[in-house]
Structure 1
Amino acid sequence: MRLAMNGRRKQRISDAFGAAAGRYDDHAGPQRLAAALVADLAQRQKPDDVSRILEIGCGTGFLTRDIQARWPGAELVVTDLSPDMLAHAAKGGLVAGTFMTMDGEAPIFEGEWFDLILSSLAFQWFDDLESAIARLAGLLRPGGSLIFSTMGQGSFARWRRAHEASGVGAGIPDYPSLEMLRSMLGRFDDAFAFDEDYALTCGGAKGLIAHLKGIGAVVPNEGRKPLPPKDLRRVMASFEEEGGDDAYQVLFGRVTRVG
């Protein structure tokens, strides 16, 4: 499925993650940790009476496999923007469910369908996070929960500072702060958000770049062009002067439908 209806950027995101599908797991340490915490939160929130679950942005299937292990009797609908990522998650018969290519902020469902909607580190690619959260929360049955993780403003702070010190702009997207996410969730009667930091050992700028390429996170801000080699070398040197490692700030949110 081509994604022309969602613009060229969404297609670029799909293509980038598709190209990384085969090597993604080798680079995805923080992604594994965030997915496990989303599953833990979901099980604490709704350990039983779960008949239908929607996953947004399955990637290679970290969260997908965990979901099925915890709720083996539930109907599972697994989605991702990238058909190649979706195929990777579905292969091998490790998960039984319905797999479909779908943009998570434009779900094809309507009405109160799901007991759980779960997602880990996919929402940062949405064009309008606040509207997407409201749209997905509208698909919950009474008592159902939307639980997700997304990138926070503090992610890759050293890499950003290295760009600033070099007088150039970083191509990393502008992620929301924890305060911004809490404000978005403030419209709901039962919701909360918190954050966790995950260290990212890079061993230098080349290691960070390899990590980003390895997970497919290579689509920059709209209109951002690659740095000339001279500028990139200056940024890399500045990053390594500060230690050559970085970190993820991951935001977690939960919305439960009351009534």
Structure 2
Amino acid sequence: MINKEKLKRRFSRNAKQYEQYAIIQKNMVKRLLSILNKDFNRKQEINESKKEQNNFKILEIGSGTGYLTSHLVSYFPMASITAVDLAQGMIDYASTALNKENIHWICADVEVLQLTDTYDLIISNATFQWFNNFGETLEKLLNILKPNGTLLFSTFGSNTFIELKTAYLSVAKEMGLEKEISPPSQSFLEKTEIRNLIDKKYNIEILVEKEYEYFDSCLNFFNAIKKIGANDSKHGKKILPPEFIQNVLAHYDQFYMTPNGIEVTYEPLYVKILNSSK
């Protein structure tokens, strides 16, 4: 289970430097927008009349620093946007940078937030992996999606940080700590797991891609993760022996070094769900 209070503090503390280090997350925003523009043709459709734009409602989950929000404002300048984020620091940063009358900022955990409105577009970037009740929250969001509305989100697949997971398992086995060492990050869902959660009445498409980052060392990779507040935030996390951490760092640097530096794999999943009910 994710400790939401810890997560909230970490993201709030790192709001000002988040975009500097969240390179993969920013790339994922660009991919989401390409899907939005190409597959949905929303920009052309909504810009046909200001009247339609005034009636168009968007819910953004995990709005963070407002990087995606700013693009939504550009795409849909007259639409009503509700931007929700868990961390007050993120809300403060984004609302200052994007002081727009058509954006309603809410600091809350969307998993427990009571949502009474309905939306034409629900969109989220790199947030759903922080849910403790993925299936229930997904169902709640689909229930507030208007007919012909779209839920579009990105999250991370199970091969994300595969090098780190392998290093943990290898070192744990070498040190006889297999039963004491938990995975180094929260669990990421498989494509099939997400698909199985969706009722057959919805049209769903899932795109799986790979992104890579390179660092001088595993330690620099760890530091970059901390810079955006995305380090492990599970409840009841055990303090690992210093020797174990040092061995993991050495293992990673030895086995995953490339000419560009140590390699870090991300597996972004892009999920598009259309409410085709009339």
TM-score above 0.5, yes or no: yes
Report whether the alignment pairs 1:172 with 2:185: yes
Task: Please tell me the residue identity of whatever aligns with 1:31.
Answer: Q
| Counterpart secondary structure, 1:185 | coil
Identify unmatched segments of 5+ residues in structure 2. Answer: 47-52, 173-180
1:61 CA displacement:
1.3
1:92 CA displacement:
2.8
Match of 2:84 among 79, 87, 90: 79
Contact kept in structure 2, 1:21 and 1:60, CA below 8 Å: yes
| Counterpart secondary structure, 1:23 | helix
Which residue is 1:230 aligned to? 243
1-structure distance, mates of 2:133, 2:182: 22
C-alpha distance after superposition, 1:23-57 (max 9, x if no partner): 11111110001112222222332333451101000
Which residue is 1:211 aligned to? 224
1-structure distance, mates of 2:58, 2:190: 28
Which residue is 2:107 aligned to? 101
1:186 CA displacement:
5.0
1:102 CA displacement:
1.9
C-alpha distance after superposition, 1:73-122 (max 9, x if no partner): 101111100011111111134654111112122332125x1110000000
2-structure distance, mates of 1:95, 1:65: 10
Map residues 141-160 of structure 1 onto 2, 5 A cutoff: 141-160=146-165
Aligned residues: 252
| Counterpart secondary structure, 2:148 | strand
Tell me the C-alpha RMSD between the 2 structures: 1.8
Match of 1:23 among 17, 21, 30: 17
Which residue is 2:212 aligned to? 199
Structure 2 length as normaliser, TM-score?
0.85
Which of 180-189 and 154-163 deviates more? 180-189
Structure 1 length as normaliser, TM-score?
0.91
Inter-CA distance 122–141: structure 2 relative to 1 (3 Å threshold): same
Which residue is 1:12 aligned to? 6
Task: Please tell me the residue identity of whatever aligns with 2:149.
Answer: G
Task: Please tell me the residue identity of whatever aligns with 1:18.
Answer: S
C-alpha distance after superposition, 1:200-259 (max 9, x if no partner): 112211111012101101233332223221110000001111222211111111111112
Contact kept in structure 2, 1:30 and 1:198, CA below 8 Å: yes
Question: Between the two proteins, what is the percent identity of the paired residues?
Answer: 23
| Counterpart secondary structure, 2:238 | coil
Which of 218-227 and 80-89 deviates more? 218-227
Report which of the two structures shows the higher radius of gyration computed on alpha carbons.
2
1-structure distance, mates of 2:32, 2:114: 23
2-structure distance, mates of 1:129, 1:208: 27
Report whether the alignment pairs 1:247 with 2:265: yes
Which residue is 1:3 aligned to? none
Task: Please tell me the residue identity of whatever aligns with 1:190.
Answer: N
